[in-house]
Amino acid sequence: MNSYTAKITITLRSSILDVQGKTVEHALHSLHMPQLTNVRIGKYVEMHVQAPDSATALDVATTACRKLIANPVMEDFVIEIAAAEGQLA
């Protein structure tokens, strides 16, 4: 078994208006940064995964996202799998 870190980014689906992102975008424009658009605000979740390989770790993290961590009705998620820092393989 190896230890991996799953780094999960969750954002509202593009079809759902992200009102926080929109508000921050307006604030950025009022700070004279009109070149910043499509601001999206989401959540970041990190967890350790014990798995024989990174592909299995990704499968486990994906299942976790589908069942609990994200709600596919309103959210998209992206998972990055990395070797866990400070963990013995």
Partner 1 sequence: MKAAVVTFPGSNCDADARHACALAGIDVAAAWHKDGALPADTDLVILPGGFSYGDYLRTGAIARFSPIMADVVRFANNGGLVLGICNGFQILCESGLLPGALVRNSGLSFVCKDVYLRTESTSTPFTSTLEKGALLRIPIAHGEGRFVADANTIDELEAQGRVAFRYCNADGSVNVDANPNGSANNIAGIVNAGGNVLGMMPHPERYAEALLGCADGMNVFASLVQHYAAAAPTTLVSSQ
How are the residues of the chain apportioned to helix, strand and coil, as percentages rounded to the nearest 5? 30, 35, 35
Q: Is the dihedral of CA 15, 78, 47, 51 positive or negative?
A: positive
Q: Is 30 in the site for partner 1 (CB under 8 A)?
A: no
Q: Where would I find the H helices in 1-89?
A: 19-30, 54-64
Of 65 and 81, nearer to partner 1 (C-beta) is: 65
Region binding partner 1 by CB under 8 A among candidate stretches 30-38, 53-61, 66-74, 80-88: 66-74
**Which of residues 31, 55, 73, 89 is near partner 1 by CB under 8 A?**
73
Label the pairing between strands 75-83 and 43-51.
unpaired
Which positions from 3 through 22 interact with partner 1, judged by CB under 8 A?
Answer: 12, 15-17, 19-20
Site of interaction with partner 1 (CB under 8 A): 12, 15-17, 19-20, 23, 68-69, 71, 73-74
